A and B are shown apart, each in its own frame.
Chain A
Amino acid sequence: MRLRHVHLPGLTPYLRASAIQEHLVRLHLDHKASQSTAPAPGPVLLTFQTPPTYTCGRREVGALSHEQKAHLRAHRKAEFHEALRGGQTTFHGPGQVTAYLILSLREHNLNARTHVRLLEDSVIGTCEGYWLEARTTENPGVWIGPSSNERKLASVGVHLRRHIASHGVGLNVTVKLWWFDRIVACGLPEKKATSIEKEYQNIEPDKGPNAKALGPTRVPGKCRPVLQFYDNPRVMRQVADGLANQVASRLSGVDGRVENVTEKSIRPGEVHYP
Chain B
Amino acid sequence: MAAVSRFRYKKRNTQKSTNGLSSAKTARQVPPPCPSPISCSSSTHSASSNTTNVLGTIGVSVYAAKNLGDVVFVELPALDLEIKAGDSMGAVESVKSASDILSPVSGKIIEANDVLQEKPGTINKSPEGEGWIARIQVKDGGEVEKLMSMDEYAKFTAE
Contacts and interface: CB of A to CB of B under 8 A. Distances in A.
Chains A and B form a bound pair: yes
A112 interface: yes
Contacts of A141: 96
Interface residues of A, number: 48
Mostly, the B contact residues are mixed
Contacts of B75: 58-59
Given A238-B15, A245-B19, A160 B30 contact: no
A129 B97 contact: no
A113 interface: yes
Contact of B100 (A105, A156, A161): A161
Given A129-B17, A225-B18, A246-B23, A105 B96 contact: no
B119 interface: no
A58 B73 contact: yes
Interface in A91-111: 105-106, 109-111
Contacts of A245: 15, 18-19, 23
Nearest to B67: A111
Contacts, number: 135
A126 B67 CA distance: 27
A180 interface: no
Contact of A219 (B14, B15, B21): B21
B62 interface: no
A85 B30 CA distance: 25
Given A115-B97, A256-B23, A109 B30 contact: yes
Contacts of A116: 95-97
B96 A162 contact: no
Contacts of A157: 96-98
Contact of A112 (B13, B21, B28, B99): B99
A82 B7 CA distance: 43
B94 to A, nearest CB: 6
B142 interface: no
A160 B18 contact: no
Nearest to A258: B19
B14 A226 contact: yes
B110 interface: no
A163 B26 contact: no
Contacts of A241: 15, 18
B34 A225 contact: no
Interface of A: 57-59, 84-87, 105-106, 109-116, 121, 125-126, 128-130, 140-141, 156-163, 165, 219, 222-223, 225-226, 238, 241-242, 245-246, 249-250, 252, 256
15 contacts: A58-B73, A59-B93, A106-B33, A109-B33, A112-B34, A114-B28, A116-B96, A158-B96, A159-B98, A161-B99, A223-B13, A226-B14, A238-B18, A246-B22, A249-B22
